[in-house]
Amino acid sequence: MLKVSKPGFYASVQDLGRPGYRHFGVPLSGAADRLAARRVNALLENDPGDAVLEMAMQGPELVFDSPTYIALSGAGMDVRLNGQELHPDQVYPVPAGSVLECGRITKGFRAYLGIRGGLRIPKILGSRSMFYPVTEGRQIRAGQELPYEPCAGFEAKILKLSPMDLYLEEALVASPGPEFELLEPAARERLFGDSFTLAKEYDRMACQLQETLPAHTLQMITSATLPGTVQLTPAGRLIILMPDGQTTGGYPRVLQLDNRSVSVLSQKKFSDRVRFVENPS
């Protein structure tokens, strides 16, 4: 078991989500930075969809009751195992009884902890991703125990990867959304010509941008949305849906980010800047 001594600011178990239930109103969920989640699983030779721990801003303190191996990726974080500093994108052995202290994130916004074999909390609707009210909670809590399979003889084929540093990137690659052509030409030019600042309203459901486009009166029926859908409110506010975002919406869908750009956005924080780049394909 992995025991949570301190839960940190916001840490949750995530895999690659629960596709196939959006018609029931159940979001996809899963890791916000799927590239980082896949990287820790690749280092540990897990399945790509094995569950990892997603940590935002301030990490938890964890105790391992059995030996295993771990890897970290995503944001830069002050992490220590039994007092020894750990580095991202490397494999580390963890003896039984070890204490992992995950401190503040110093670069980016979300860090990921992978464990050999993945975290084994029960699957609900085919996924271990935490999302309330599908699961009992939306994040880990003090005293909680997260199961994993002990491992004492793992020999990693790859011990280290070069960091991706997505937090340094500003470009979000996007394709025109279904209602893009309904915008005035000036608004369309601003979408792909201006840069935008992340607002304080930002979580696993959606990210708002501070700068606005001109107000509009466009009418549309409620339609399907996805992680990475960029909606435009009547007041001209841009909202980018994240993995826990709603499955339908009534605002015009002006852009759709590609999957990599959702990972880039997940590593941004309040006041960071981004710009939309049109997908050439």
102, 62 contact by CB (below 8 A): yes
Assign 63 to helix, strand or coil: strand
Question: Which residues, given as ranges, of the chain have pLDDT below 70?
Answer: none
Q: Which helix (H) or strand (E) holds 14?
A: strand 10-14
The H helix count followed by the E strand count for the chain is 3, 18
Query: Is residue 116 exposed (0-12), middle (13-18) or buried (19+ Cβ within 10 Å)?
Result: buried
pLDDT tens-digit readout, 7-17: 999 999 999 99
Q: Sign of dihedral through CA atoms 153, 96, 34, 36?
A: negative
- The pLDDT, as a whole number, for residue 220 is 87
Quote the tokens at residue 196.
């935008």
Token pair, residue 247, equals 């499955």
Q: Residues 6 or more apart from 123 whose CB is under 8 A from it?
A: none
Question: Could you give the domains of the chain?
Answer: 2-146 (2.60.120), 169-278 (2.40.100.10)
Closest by CA to 271, choosing from 134, 109, 115, 139, is 109
List the structure tokens of 40: 């820790």
pLDDT of residue 160: 85
Q: What is the pLDDT of residue 181?
A: 93
Paired tokens of 246: 């709603």
Which tokens go with 69? 């191996």
